[in-house]
Amino acid sequence: MGKYILKRIGYMILTLFIIATATFFLMKLMPGSPYANQAKMTTEQIKIMDQQYGLNKPIVQQYWIYMIGLLHGDFGTSFQFNNQPVSYLIASRIGPSMQIGLQAIILGTGLGILLGAIAAIRKNTWVDTVATFFAIIGRSIPNFVFAVILQFFLAFKLGLFPIALWDGFSSSILPTIALAMAPLATTARFMRTEMVDVLNSDYIELARAKGNSPWQTVAKHALRNSLIPVVTIIGPMAVDLMVGSMVVENIFSIPGIGEQFVKSITTNDYPTIMGLTILYSTMLVVVILIVDILYGLIDPRIRLSGSEAQN
């Protein structure tokens, strides 16, 4: 297992290296000016600015400097936003994003597991129909539509929550719900399929034959066996969350990295875009790696054949 994890981390670093390199050179190809008010600047001023940002050096050298910087957690300096270091921008904005993201994933997977399990246990009853209906709605309706609907009814019409303001927990509720819909639907659907399979399996019948009540059977045998595969979809869901956070943060004016990313794009702030791209990719590969390791830890079949996985 240890060797397997090391190998995976090796691949992860390689992937990130390729992404960083690709992003860097793509940025160099970008049209458009890096300076917000370039139109008003003289050639002389631009030269000074270029020097200040190191843009006058040969591209390979710029690349080298950038990569070395990355290793130290230095993503360069933002061209916009008062010339703050990108790392500082990220640090100051990651809090709200993380809060909403984590709340959404906990709410989404938690409710999804519950909904999926109930739907499977009460398969082909009205409970199942209702759960399936919610799963379809959650999967189909785009998160930004959800966000807007929530904002309209709960915040604007009923005034239960702030419309677009970042101020503590109550302002995080609506964005969390909007973000949680997709993971909720995905989890519920996946959980239902897994649970239906498990409930049809022989070992569940054997558990019943041992004298377990239906509830005990679900709690002791069915739940764990259907939960293990659910771990595998956390990776893809994390991606959806990152994408979703950009638009949801925008709608609710949350000072997070998603909103920052959209802002950077519209203002051609290359260092910030690069930094955030690398950050998003890193988070993604790390989440996937953690999920894989977690899966190996909780599934005894993989845990003990870990040595085979190395090959």
Partner 1 sequence: MERILDVQHLKVNFATFAGQVQAIRDVSFHLNKGETLAIVGESGSGKSVTVRSIMGLLANNAHIDDGIINFKNQDILKMTPHEIENLRGNDISMIFQDPMTSLDPTMPIGKQVAEPLLIHGKATKKAALKRAEEVLELVGITNAKNRLKDYPHQFSGGQRQRIVIAMAIVNDPEILIADEPTTALDVTIQAQIIDLMKELQHKIDTSIIFITHDLGVVAGIADRVAVMYAGKIVEFGTVDEIFYDPRHPYTWGLLNSMPTLKTDAERLYAIPGTPPNLLNPPIGDAFAPRNPYAMAVDYEAMPPFFKVTATHYAATWLLHPDAPKVTPPTAIQQRKAEYRALLAEQQDQHNTTIDEKIGDDLDD
Partner 2 sequence: MTDHSGKIQIKPASFKPVAAANVDEQEKISAPSLTFVQDALRRLRKNRAATVSLWLLLIIIMISVVSIWWTPSNPNAQNVAYANLPPKIGQGIPGFSGQANVGGRIVDKYAQAKVPKGTYFILGTDYLGRDLFSRLMKGVALSLLIGMLATLFDLVIGVPYGLISGWHGGRTDTIMQRIIEIISSIPNLVIVILMLLLFTPGLGSIVMAMGLTGWITMARLVRAETLTLKSQEYVLAARTLGESPIKIAIKHLIPNLSSTIIIQTMFSIPTAIFFEAFLSFIGIGIPAPNASLGTLLADGQKTFRFLPYQMWYPAAVISIIMIAFNLLADGLRDAFDPKTQE
174-212 burial code (b ≥16 CB/10 A, e <16): bbbbbbbbbbbbbbbbbbbebbbebbeeeebeebeeeeb
Tell me the two tokens of residue 59: 């591209």
How far is it, in rounded angstroms, from Cα 125 to Cα 258? Answer: 41
Q: In 10 A of CB 311, how many CB atoms?
A: 5
The residue among 31 and 168 lying less far from partner 2, judged by its C-beta, is 31
How far is it, in rounded angstroms, from Cα 244 to Cα 248? Answer: 6
Residue 232 as a binder of partner 1 (CB under 8 A): the answer is no
Q: Among residue numbers 236 through 255, which ones bind partner 2 (CB under 8 A)?
A: 239, 242-243, 246-247, 250-251
CA distances from 18 to 15, 66, 261, 279, 295 (A): 5, 14, 21, 14, 27
User: Which one of the spans 58-66, 211-219, 220-228, 266-274 is the region binding partner 2 (CB under 8 A)?
Assistant: 266-274
The residue among 99 and 225 lying less far from partner 1, judged by its C-beta, is 225
Q: In 10 A of CB 274, how many CB atoms?
A: 21
243 binds, among partner 1, partner 2, none (CB under 5 to 8 A by kind): partner 2
User: Which one of the spans 22-30, 104-112, 207-215, 303-311 is the region binding partner 2 (CB under 8 A)?
Assistant: 22-30
Compute the least distance from the CB of residue 152 to partner 2, in Å: 6
How far is it, in rounded angstroms, from Cα 301 to Cα 219? Answer: 20
How far is it, in rounded angstroms, from Cα 24 to Cα 68? Answer: 13
On the CB side of 87, CA atoms within 13 Å amount to 9
User: Which one of the spans 31-39, 47-55, 240-248, 294-302 is the region binding partner 1 (CB under 8 A)?
Assistant: 294-302
Residue 211 as a binder of partner 1 (CB under 8 A): the answer is yes
Q: Among residue numbers 183 through 202, which ones bind partner 2 (CB under 8 A)?
A: 193
7 binds, among partner 2, partner 1, none (CB under 5 to 8 A by kind): none
Q: Which of 15, 193, 212, 281 forms a contact with partner 1 (CB under 8 A)?
A: 212
Tell me the two tokens of residue 112: 């999804």
How far is it, in rounded angstroms, from Cα 238 to Cα 284? Answer: 7
Compute the least distance from the CB of residue 307 to partner 1, in Å: 13
Q: Which of 8, 57, 139, 208 forms a contact with partner 2 (CB under 8 A)?
A: 139
Q: Which of 156, 205, 255, 300 forms a contact with partner 2 (CB under 8 A)?
A: 156
Residue 8 as a binder of partner 1 (CB under 8 A): the answer is no
Compute the least distance from the CB of residue 303 to partner 1, in Å: 9
x-or-dash string of contact with partner 1, 9-38, rule CB under 8 A: ------------------------------
Residues contributing to the site for partner 1 (CB under 8 A): 201-203, 205-213, 216, 220-221, 224-225, 228, 299-301, 304
Residues contributing to the site for partner 2 (CB under 8 A): 11, 15, 18-19, 23, 26, 29-32, 136-137, 139-142, 144-145, 148-149, 151-152, 156, 193, 239, 242-243, 246-247, 250-251, 261-262, 265-266, 268, 273, 277, 280-281, 284-285, 288
